[in-house]
Amino acid sequence: MADAVPAPAVPAPSPGDLAALPRAERVAALDGWLTGLLDAALAAAPPAAGRRGQPDPASGAGVALVAVGSLGRGEPPPHGDLDLVLVHDGRPGVAELANALWYPIWDAGHKLDHSVRTVGEAVQVAGTDVKAGLGLLDARPVAGDAELAAELRTATLGAWRASAGRLLPELRDLRRGRIRSVGELGFLLEPDLKEAYGGLREGQVLRALSAAQLVDAPPADAEDAYRFLVDVRDELRRRTRRATDVLVRQEQPGIATTLGLPDDDVLLRRVSLAGRRLAFVADEAWRRVDAALVRRPRARYRRVRREPLAEGLVRHGDEVVLARDARPAADPGLVLRGAAAAAHADLVLSPYTLKVLSAHSPALPEPWPAEVRWSFLRLLATGRSAVPVLEQLDQEGLLTRMLPEWDRVRSLPQRHPWHRFTVDRHLVEAAAAAAELTRDVDRPDLLLVGSLLHDIGKGWPGDHSEVGAVVMTEVAARMGFGPADVAVLAAMVRHHLVLPDVATHRDLDDPATIDRVVDTLGGDPQLLHLLHALAQADGAATSSAAWSPWKAHLVAALVGRVAARLGSTAEPEPVLAPSDPQVVAPAPEIPGPTRPVTVGVADVADGQQVTFGAPDRPGLFSLCAGVLALNQLDVRAARVTVEGGHATSVFAVRPRFGRVPVPEILADGVRAALEGTLPLAERLAQRERDYSQDGVRGAPPRVAWFDAEATGAASTLVEVRATDRAGLLHRLTAALAAEGLDVRAATVETLGADAVDAFYLADPTGTPVDAGQRERTERALLAAASGTAPDPVPR
């Protein structure tokens, strides 16, 4: 009968117990437990042969337990895998020894990634498998034969260096794949702390590149950024009690509190700054690695050509460096001149040049000299090429030295589903987009600067447009712009949202809408066209959802109407044209038993235009909206006209799932709804249940009235902001019809999970909407928007 295996001296720690420990204590607890496991397994095993073939009863002879991966680095995350390698020198019975080691680990509830290898086998893996090779670079002896563990580390490191030329291209491709699939840590609202571009994986690869002797060890600030992300990841896993690396929104406030940060925005900003620093250092390292990998055998002996680019600056290979006669301490304009030269040549500044400029460049004179301002504009005018160069200036602190206000928006998160960037990167992207529009305006310099700083006010409390205008006034004056140009730049910041907001929320065919924009802009055609270009750049830098072809069409239509009012262009065509036979396709008449209905469908910007024709009756507009919702068509804008008792309702729609509307199906739906054979409310309620998101709760709906923004004493404008729901437009218009109000026009915009619906209302009696009717209407709209009341029955 075999002897019983002695129990290890250290009791097995559970994953939950380990998660509660600080990182250093967690490592010590694991090391002590694993050492006990190996000692117990060795004590129960037959004596092993020594290095010279003689029996060696010493514990751990010819076998070593080595930690790799996160445990090897001394940073095992809570609820993470234990990555272990049992190294041996050909010892017989090693499989039984491994089983005696692994099974207690599994029995204790730990996840285990394990392998059993000789040093030669480990060397072969390190030279052929890039992921396994990375893990072995972190090898750390835990227990057993220390000499054998040291031999493993030396051999695998040598294999990695010898195979770097073959393995690093694969590692680079893996990195590019992570960028495409996971995104950039610095700009995500719920980032993957490990796999995102700039995440923990970046720091681990940096160490691997250094181990291959291709780049220097990561700088101290990159190591600090890495350790902060490890702290955040550990606290995330401790709170969620599972192996997750995605910093989800609901966990951010608690993590911020535990880490001693004021709030979750500060946490997300710190995460962004850390990720951007790691990504920046990694980008520079990979430029060095790529240059080394493509270098020919004797290229080191060839002289690299130096090409003059600007005063004090030359091209050296793929970088811009200082010329021999450059004097950074005596040349305030050298930083921006070098940045502009690098972007213009589609290059970057060398790291050494950045360090020299950061250490020796003097502060810019105030106001900026014309040459400095020209270099700044030349940098912005390069468009996409300016983005990496501006990031270089930002990472070295040079950008905030020139623009101290920039520090307020650095990595400032924007918690809106439309925004894909932090505030500062959004501004840089907007400036890059504006560079493609400079030929559309008379003052491209104002467009570039206005685009770069249009959201600068988000770094201060209050309305960012109003605050930003004040900040822009100070910045523009410091840049050396004249008083008239400073006023235009401030107006661009103050009014940069006017055109998109009016175009998407107001009736563009209402003269009062055009009057409002003309008055807001002071009748200045130049400001109008600058704001139009800024709106395009702002939208392109936000996301494709924020600047769709339909939104671009609406803004262009508004600009055309305002320009026509100012006398610079002819009056444009209406946005929705129910009577234009070239816009609305010929509508086939589909007769019903009592009510004929006609439907026409035509292609328009980013969707289709659907025109319904039917005898007028209360609630007709709402029924048409409900049928469109039932057919999964999102309404962008709508208009209704009534002549001789016949109503024509025109809707700009976009298919939610790409199916183009079919006139016959829509006509059948409207006719059935009019006849009462289609339970529209019931069907829409079922559709809403089918597509609802469990657990999602929006803010309470809001209703606002705008008496001065609609033409005519008997017409008024009401705006509803609510969580988007299936058939929301139908419910709101039904509520209006139930209050005896006619909808003359409507605009609809969806902002993530929220909808903003604006309705131009008219009382059929020709009298203004009185206070009592307004109060009843508002209650009905709120009930319809929140889903707390049944669908109203039209009067």
SS (H, E, C) 195-255: CCECCHHHHHHHHHHHHCCCCCCCCHHHHHHHHHHHHHHHHHHHHHCCCCCECCHHHHHHH
Distance CA 336, CA 341 (A): 8
Q: Which two tokens stand for residue 204?
A: 């681990």
Q: Is 674 exposed, middle or buried (0-12, 13-18, 19+ CB in 10 A)?
A: buried
If we measure between CA atoms, which residue out of 244, 263, 243, 242 comes closest to residue 254? 263
- The label of the residue with tokens 């950045």 reads 354
CA 231 to chain centre: 23
Same domain, 343 and 447: no
Tens-digit pLDDT profile for residues 126-169? 888 888 888 888 999 999 999 999 999 999 989 888 888 888 88
Tens-digit pLDDT profile for residues 434-457? 999 999 999 999 999 999 999 999
Alpha-carbon distances, residue 732 vs 285, 746, 751 (angstroms): 57, 11, 18
Q: Is residue 559 part of a domain?
A: yes
Handedness of CA 305, 310, 311, 313 (dihedral sign): negative
Same domain, 516 and 413: yes
Helices (H) then strands (E): counts for the chain? 29, 19
What is the pairing mode between strands 348-349 and 319-322? parallel
Where in the sequence is the domain holding 728, given as residue range(s)?
589-690+698-786
Same domain, 593 and 570: no
CATH classification of the domain holding 265: 1.20.120.330
Same domain, 506 and 638: no
Q: Is residue 582 part of a domain?
A: no
CATH classification of the domain holding 43: 3.30.460.10
Distance CA 379, CA 241 (A): 48
What is the per-residue DSSP string for 291-351?
HHHH--TTGGGSPPPEEEEETTEEEETTEEEE-TT--GGG-TTHHHHHHHHHHHTT-EE-H
Alpha-carbon distances, residue 256 vs 194, 267, 409, 698, 699 (angstroms): 18, 6, 19, 24, 24
Structural element, H or E, at residue 611: strand 607-615
Q: What is the 3-state secondary structure (H, E, C) of 510-555?
A: CHHHHHHHHHHCCCCHHHHHHHHHHHHHHHHHHCCCCCCHHHHHHH
Same domain, 620 and 680: yes
Write phi, then psi, for 339 (nearest 5 degrees): -65, -45
CATH classification of the domain holding 613: 3.30.70.260
Q: Is residue 175 part of a domain?
A: no
Q: Is residue 449 part of a domain?
A: yes
Q: Which two tokens stand for residue 414?
A: 């924007």
Same domain, 195 and 242: yes
Distance CA 444, CA 457 (A): 22
Burial 291-320 (b: 16+ CB within 10 A, else e): ebeeeeeeeeeeeeeeeebbebbbbbeebb
Alpha-carbon distances, residue 676 vs 476, 659, 665, 684, 751 (angstroms): 64, 26, 16, 15, 33
Same domain, 410 and 398: no
Neighbours of 431 (CB within 10 A): 26
Which ranges of 618-697 does DSSP label H, i.e. alpha helix?
Answer: 620-630, 663-675, 680-691
If we measure between CA atoms, which residue out of 559, 560, 584, 587 comes closest to residue 573? 560
Grouping H, G, I as helix, E, B as strand and the rest as coil, residue 24 is helix
- What residues contact residue 470 under an 8 Å CB cut-off, 6+ apart? 457, 490
Q: Which of 575, 600, 627 is the last residue in one of the domains? A: 575
Write phi, then psi, for 338 (nearest 5 degrees): -70, -40
- Contacts of 520-525 spanning 24+ positions with Cβ under 8 A: 520/495, 521/491, 521/495, 521/562, 522/491, 523/566, 524/491, 525/563, 525/566, 525/568
Distance CA 445, CA 376 (A): 10
Same domain, 192 and 334: no
Q: Is residue 581 part of a domain?
A: no
Q: Which of 294, 317, 340 is the last residue in one of the domains? A: 294
Mean per-residue pLDDT of the chain: 87
Q: According to the model, what pLDDT value does residue 301 have?
A: 47
Same domain, 708 and 760: yes
Grouping H, G, I as helix, E, B as strand and the rest as coil, residue 67 is strand
Q: According to the model, what pLDDT value does residue 453 have?
A: 98
What is the pairing mode between strands 55-56 and 63-67? unpaired
Q: What is the 3-state secondary structure (H, E, C) of 545-582?
A: CCCCHHHHHHHHHHHHHHHHHCCCCCCCCCCCCCCCCC
Contact assessment for residue 471 and residue 509, using Cβ atoms and an 8 Å cutoff? no
Q: Which of 114, 135, 164 is the last residue in one of the domains? A: 164
What is the pairing mode between strands 597-604 and 589-590? antiparallel
Same domain, 609 and 752: yes
If we measure between CA atoms, which residue out of 232, 234, 225, 236 comes closest to residue 202? 225
- The label of the residue with tokens 């993470």 reads 80
Q: Which two tokens stand for residue 247?
A: 């910093």
Alpha-carbon distances, residue 61 vs 6, 58, 486 (angstroms): 19, 6, 79
Q: According to the model, what pLDDT value does residue 215 have?
A: 87
CATH classification of the domain holding 483: 1.10.3210
Beta bridge partners of 157: none
Q: Which two tokens stand for residue 126?
A: 């390190």
Distance CA 632, CA 330 (A): 66
Write phi, then psi, for 320 (nearest 5 degrees): -105, 125
Distance CA 359, CA 320 (A): 17
- What residues contact residue 686 under an 8 Å CB cut-off, 6+ apart? none
Q: Is residue 794 part of a domain?
A: no
Same domain, 633 and 782: yes
Low-confidence ranges of the chain (pLDDT < 50): 1-5, 51-55, 57-59, 296-301, 579-595, 693-696, 792-795
Contact assessment for residue 160 and residue 89, using Cβ atoms and an 8 Å cutoff? no
Q: Is residue 105 part of a domain?
A: yes
Domain tally, the chain: 5
Same domain, 556 and 614: no
Q: Is residue 130 part of a domain?
A: yes
Distance CA 590, CA 626 (A): 19
Q: Which two tokens stand for residue 273?
A: 């700054």
Amino acid at 30: L
